[in-house]
Structure 1
Amino acid sequence: METNAHVELTSAEISNLWTSYVQGTMMICGLRYFLAKVEDPEISGVLGYALDKVFSSLLEEEHLPSPQTWDHTVMDSIVYTFSDKLMMFHITALIASGIGQHGIAMSDSPRRDLGLHYLRLAGEIAKYSEYRANILIDKGWLEQPSIGVDRKTLARKKD
């Protein structure tokens, strides 16, 4: 079997590329909108993150259309409609959704090249997510989630 042979994308792979591209463009659109509205320079640096265009190029290589981007819908108003805290939490939701989609897409494709793209991008997004989480913690906007019970400590207290 030839390893360099061209392999057509499956319908599931096309669907996942499409979905990943739409989620990526939605995140870019949200980041651009929020970036124009944010007041805190530290938050502005976090929102300046740009995503890879790998999904559109993979669709183009297969002569498949890419979804339309929504960049043109971002208004140039500088009215501060949302708080910096709310904008950061919206970006958090988009990040979680993107990482989840990459995991689904990776598990749905037998192609190693697609898996590597998804893995690389999920790693980049996870690094960005950690940086963003640290800012949320520093600002007191993110509390420690509930954690499991420390059974060893509980056992010692009974003695």
Structure 2
Amino acid sequence: MNINKIKESIGVLRCKMEKTHLTSTEKGFLWINNIVDSMAVCCLSYFKEKCEDKKISEVLSYALDLSKIHVELTSKIFIKENHPIPVGFTEEDVNLSAPRLFSDEFILLYLHQVANLGLVFYSKAIAMTARKDVHDFYKECISSSTELNSRTKELLLTKGLYVRPPYIPDESQPEMIQKIGYLKGFLGEKRALTALEISNLFFNL
């Protein structure tokens, strides 16, 4: 998604801000969003200063613009509500002239994980928020995070850096559960991990 398109959408969202008070859930998600994105602005600004790979730098610029937009809009929603703005991170919390600490490849992997975690956070937020301006904000967040995920994944694949989850053997036929044994391994005989258990372990690692 184009950054200018996102800014246009956010301009529309500002006009749609409702008079309904923010719920505890909406306040909580917006508060965390503001602080996390203020930290992201610091990290991504430093990475942008040091990155030498042109394609990775372009994705960095996209991610940095998104974080700045998120901080701006969440702050404006709180101001509209006469609610205090979170005390997040500022330019005083990062030294852009510090020596280079991370490779461009690490930066790309970091960006991909940021996109993945963003999708998890935003999908939960959109499921639990009802006020239209907040709901629409998280729709935009999911759309832009999906774009960031696609861009970083494509670059990782191109550079041979994408780490795929483990493969498991193909089965010749469906296997039925004979009895529930989720505690096997702790008590009694061990059982094989399910595909989704492997997926979640891999994602968390």
TM over 0.5: yes
**Post-superposition CA distance 1:65-99 (Å, at most 9, x none):** 22233333221226221111112222222222222
Which of 43, 49, 62 is the equivalent residue of 2:81?
62
**Post-superposition CA distance 1:92-136 (Å, at most 9, x none):** 222222222212221222223211110111101211221111111
In the TM superposition, what is the alpha-carbon distance from 1:149 to its structure 2 partner?
5.9
Asked if the contact 2:49/2:96 (under 8 Å) is kept, the reply is: yes
Which deviates more, 139-148 or 33-42? 139-148
**Among the aligned pairs, what percent are the same residue?**
26
Asked if the contact 2:38/2:90 (under 8 Å) is kept, the reply is: yes
Q: In the aligned structure 2, how far is the partner of 1:149 from the partner of 1:27? A: 39
The equivalent residue for 2:39 is: 26
Q: 2:42 is aligned with what amino acid?
A: C
Q: In the aligned structure 2, how far is the partner of 1:135 from the partner of 1:77? A: 27
Q: In the aligned structure 2, how far is the partner of 1:84 from the partner of 1:121? A: 25
Task: Please give the residue correspondences for 1:62-141 in structure 2 after superposition, counting only pairs within 5 Å.
Answer: 62-67=81-86, 68-77=88-97, 79-141=99-161
Q: 1:61 is aligned with what amino acid?
A: K
Question: Normalising by structure 2, what TM-score?
Answer: 0.65
The equivalent residue for 1:38 is: 51
Change (3 A) 1:5 1:61: closer
Q: In the aligned structure 1, how far is the partner of 2:156 from the partner of 2:124? A: 27
The equivalent residue for 1:6 is: 19
Q: In the aligned structure 2, how far is the partner of 1:47 from the partner of 1:143? A: 20
RMSD: 2.2
Q: In the aligned structure 2, how far is the partner of 1:62 from the partner of 1:9? A: 8
Structure 1: 5+ residue stretches without partners: none
Q: 1:106 is aligned with what amino acid?
A: I
Structure 2: 5+ residue stretches without partners: 1-16, 174-205
Q: 2:125 is aligned with what amino acid?
A: A
Change (3 A) 1:5 1:137: closer
**Post-superposition CA distance 1:3-62 (Å, at most 9, x none):** x96111112211110011122222222110111111212211111121123211111111
Q: In the aligned structure 2, how far is the partner of 1:140 from the partner of 1:36? A: 24
Q: 1:85 is aligned with what amino acid?
A: E
Q: In the aligned structure 1, how far is the partner of 2:40 from the partner of 2:18? A: 34
